């Protein structure tokens, strides 16, 4: 592609492999430490998430303590922190974004909510205020990349997507931080609860329980036209699973009591 008319354009991709594909098309073939450059472009990359929402104790030192009277934790501000394991790459990206030689940016992270969030968090943490264009492509063929750069759109067109991404990120934080602490305190053991993690695990467990309750052993053909009577062993197993399920259900319902401030303790199975 021809070089930009004025100034150097910084392109931020989500992964090194994507950055290399884009840099090849743009003619940015010179290697730097954590970036590629040439032909009026600097192509840098994240390594997934370089930046994340701060932990509770990083927002408020008092939140370091796991106590019922501190729940729920509801931040008024949402500060960001840089992941320690990838802080070197963040510094590379930050210096590029804030360089006086860079006139504008192209967000080339994945075309979706999560990709948008990765760029916005980096942009915010770097305290960058330069204009942004959005590359929105679903293929990394040279033709698709060229066409994408010919059809760049203002970054502001994707502000609603960024808002949705931030909302999802904060919802995950609120559910994870608050319910993990609430259940851990209620059960006197460290437990992990997540907005996606816990329902997914519940589906896996529900399927596993259904398999264990089945009178038909795994690997044995099932013939619907034949009447099979569950063995006493299967009946006993089914009853044990039912008791465990009822206990788990009572535990979950008990959290509602805890939420309302009642003093009753919760029993864990």
* Model confidence pLDDT, tens digit, residues 139-151: 999 999 999 999 9
- Is the pLDDT assigned to residue 108 strictly greater than 70? yes
Categorize the per-residue pLDDT at 160 as very low, low, confident or very high, splitting at 50, 70 and 90.
very high
- Is the pLDDT assigned to residue 83 strictly greater than 80? yes
- Boundary of a domain, candidates 147, 163, 179: 163
Structural domain span for residue 74: 8-163
Domains held by the chain: number: 2
Same domain, residue pair 15 and 138: yes
Question: pTM for this one?
Answer: 0.76
pLDDT, average across residues 110-122: 97
- Is the pLDDT assigned to residue 99 strictly greater than 60? yes
| Residue in this structure with the two tokens 């942004």, named with its chain if needed | 132
- Is the pLDDT assigned to residue 21 strictly greater than 70? yes
| CATH code, 75 | 3.40.50.140
Same domain, residue pair 86 and 142: yes
Task: Say what the pLDDT of residue 225 is.
Answer: 57
pLDDT, average across residues 8-23: 97
Per the structure block, which two tokens stand in for 74?
Answer: 């509801």
By DSSP bridging, strand 132-134 and strand 153-154 are antiparallel
Residue 1 within a domain: no
CA distance 90 to 88: 5
């Amino acid at each position: 592609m021809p070089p930009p008319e004025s100034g150097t354009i910084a392109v931020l991709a989500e992964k090194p492999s994507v950055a290399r594909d884009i840099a090849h098309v743009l003619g940015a073939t010179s290697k730097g430490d954590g970036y590629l450059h040439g032909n009026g472009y600097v192509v840098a990359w994240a390594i997934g998430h370089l930046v994340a929402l701060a932990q509770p104790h990083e927002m408020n030192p008092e939140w370091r303590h796991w106590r019922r009277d501190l729940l729920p934790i509801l931040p008024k501000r949402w500060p960001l922190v840089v992941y320690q394991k990838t802080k070197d790459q963040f510094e590379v990206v930050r210096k590029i974004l804030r360089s006086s030689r860079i006139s504008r940016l192209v967000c080339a992270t994945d075309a979706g909510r999560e990709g948008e969030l990765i760029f916005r968090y980096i942009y915010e943490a770097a305290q960058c205020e330069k204009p942004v264009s959005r590359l929105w492509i679903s293929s990394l063929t040279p033709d698709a990349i060229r066409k994408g750069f010919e059809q760049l759109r203002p970054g502001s067109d994707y502000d609603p997507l960024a808002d949705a991404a931030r909302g999802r990120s904060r919802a995950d934080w609120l559910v994870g931080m608050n319910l993990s602490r609430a259940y851990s305190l209620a059960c006197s053991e460290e437990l992990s609860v997540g907005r996606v993690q816990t329902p997914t695990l519940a589906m896996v467990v529900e399927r596993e329980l259904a398999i264990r309750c089945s009178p038909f052993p795994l690997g044995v053909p099932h013939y619907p036209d034949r009447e099979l009577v569950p063995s006493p062993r299967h009946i006993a197993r089914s009853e044990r699973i039912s008791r465990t399920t009822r206990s788990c259900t009572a535990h979950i319902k008990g959290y509602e009591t805890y939420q309302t401030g009642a003093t009753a303790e919760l029993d864990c199975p």
